[in-house]
């Protein structure tokens, strides 16, 4: 599994993580545990969740504690509320549900009340209650705001939407993250499944197979991971076979710039 160094730190994390949006709430506790066990066995570490994701935090916490993996994994969650007191209470609740202290990463979800919540998180980081702090959004329309925060605040991570069909982040946001030394987590790598709709029934091109792709999922993930600013991508799935396929994208060679553009051009023809 390819690992990427967190900018400015000695720590590295595996490049393929695990998203929990609409995932853990739809499966049994045993299935959640099986997914996490396999993810860890395949070299995975970063699992991203949020209070917004139904029971995902609670399910993740129960499973990682049952498996005794909480300390081995890099658990990332978010604060999704307004007001300092509410943010502090939600932070404490996330610690309780996930059963880990310090938390690895706490992010301001979709920039909600970000000035208040980032100020709160900086205090928590200085106190040792969380190791890294960051900001997130899932829409390209928020990229300018994300960039503004990157350039004006001291954050460790930024999470954004980016995939082969949604490349707006390449223009300013990904370069800004590189310039400011901020780690990048990519969400919506499959456009919430829309990319697979584009390629349904279409054979994987020979040039992609020769370059190490074994599925369209790997094609899409390797395209993302080949951008030098990307630290980790977080596909979500409740299917063990899909999980294994996703993790395999983090092994082997990645496309060079010329191959990236060839992949993008080919996708546009579909």
pLDDT tens profile 205-222: 999 999 999 999 999 999
Q: Indicate if the pLDDT at residue 115 is higher than 90.
A: yes
Per the structure, how many domains does the chain have? 1
Q: What per-residue confidence (pLDDT) applies to 132?
A: 98
Q: Read off φ and ψ for residue 127, nearest 5 degrees.
A: -80, -5
218 in a domain, yes or no? no
66 in a domain, yes or no? yes
Q: Indicate if the pLDDT at residue 101 is higher than 90.
A: yes
* Strand 46-48 to 74-79 pairing: parallel
Please provide the average confidence, as pLDDT, over all residues in the chain.
96
Q: Indicate if the pLDDT at residue 25 is higher than 80.
A: no
**pLDDT digit string (tens) for 117-176?**
999 999 999 999 999 999 999 999 999 999 999 999 999 999 999 999 999 999 999 999
From 24-28, 71-75, 77-81, 189-193, the region with the lowest mean pLDDT: 24-28
261 in a domain, yes or no? no
Q: What per-residue confidence (pLDDT) applies to 23?
A: 84
31 in a domain, yes or no? yes
265 in a domain, yes or no? no
Q: Read off φ and ψ for residue 108, nearest 5 degrees.
A: -85, 115
8 burial via Cβ count (<10 Å: 0-12, 13-18, 19+): exposed
Q: What per-residue confidence (pLDDT) applies to 54?
A: 82
Q: What per-residue confidence (pLDDT) applies to 13?
A: 98
Q: Which of 166, 219, 158 is nearest to 188 (CA)?
A: 166
CA 102 to chain centre: 19
163 in a domain, yes or no? yes
Q: What per-residue confidence (pLDDT) applies to 231?
A: 98
Structure tokens at 170: 């390449």
From 12-26, 113-127, 176-190, the region with the lowest mean pLDDT: 12-26
208 in a domain, yes or no? no
Q: What is the CA radius of gyration of the chain?
A: 18
Domain holding 166: CATH number?
A: 3.20.20.100
**pLDDT digit string (tens) for 37-58?**
999 999 999 999 999 888 899 9
Cis peptide before 19 (omega within 30 of 0): no
Tell me what the mean pLDDT of segment 244-265 comes to: 97
Q: Which domain holds residue 140?
A: 13-193+229-252
Give strand ranges (E) for the chain. Answer: 3-5, 12-14, 18-19, 46-48, 74-79, 103-108, 130-136, 157-161, 183-187, 232-233
- Per the DSSP assignment, residues forming a β-bridge with 161 are 187
234 in a domain, yes or no? yes
**Are 74 and 49 spatial neighbours (Cβ–Cβ below 8 Å)?**
no
From 19-28, 71-80, 176-185, the region with the lowest mean pLDDT: 19-28
* 3-state secondary structure (DSSP) of residue 16: strand
Flag whether the pTM goes above 0.85.
yes
Of the pLDDT bands very low, low, confident and very high (cuts 50, 70, 90), residue 24 is confident
Tell me what the mean pLDDT of segment 81-95 comes to: 97
């Amino acid at each position: 599994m390819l690992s990427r160094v967190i900018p400015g730190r000695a720590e590295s994390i595996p490049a393929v993580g695990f998203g929990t949006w609409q995932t853990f709430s739809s499966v049994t506790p045993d299935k959640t545990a099986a997914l996490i066990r396999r993810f860890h066995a395949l070299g995975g570490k970063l699992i991203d969740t949020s209070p917004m994701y139904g029971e995902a935090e609670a399910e993740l916490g129960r499973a990682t504690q049952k498996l005794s993996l909480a300390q081995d994994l890099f658990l990332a969650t978010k604060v999704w509320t307004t007001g300092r007191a509410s943010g502090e209470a939600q932070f404490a609740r996330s610690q309780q549900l996930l059963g880990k202290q310090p938390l690895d990463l706490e992010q301001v979800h979709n920039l909600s009340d970000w000035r208040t919540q980032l100020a709160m998180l900086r205090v928590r980081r200085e106190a040792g209650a969380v190791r890294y702090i960051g900001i997130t959004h899932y829409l390209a329309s928020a990229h300018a705001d994300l960039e503004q925060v990157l350039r004006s605040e001291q954050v460790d991570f930024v999470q954004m939407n980016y995939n082969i069909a949604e490349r707006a982040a390449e223009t300013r946001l990904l370069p800004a993250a590189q310039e400011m030394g901020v780690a990048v987590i990519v969400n919506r790598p499959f456009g919430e499944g829309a990319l697979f709709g584009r390629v349904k029934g279409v054979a994987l091109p020979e040039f992609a197979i020769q370059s190490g792709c074994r599925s369209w999922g790997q094609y899409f993930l390797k395209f993302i991971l080949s951008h030098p600013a990307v630290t980790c991508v977080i596909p979500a799935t409740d299917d063990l076979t899909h999980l294994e396929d996703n993790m395999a994208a983090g092994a082997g060679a990645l496309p060079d710039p010329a191959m990236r553009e060839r992949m993008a051009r080919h996708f546009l023809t579909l």
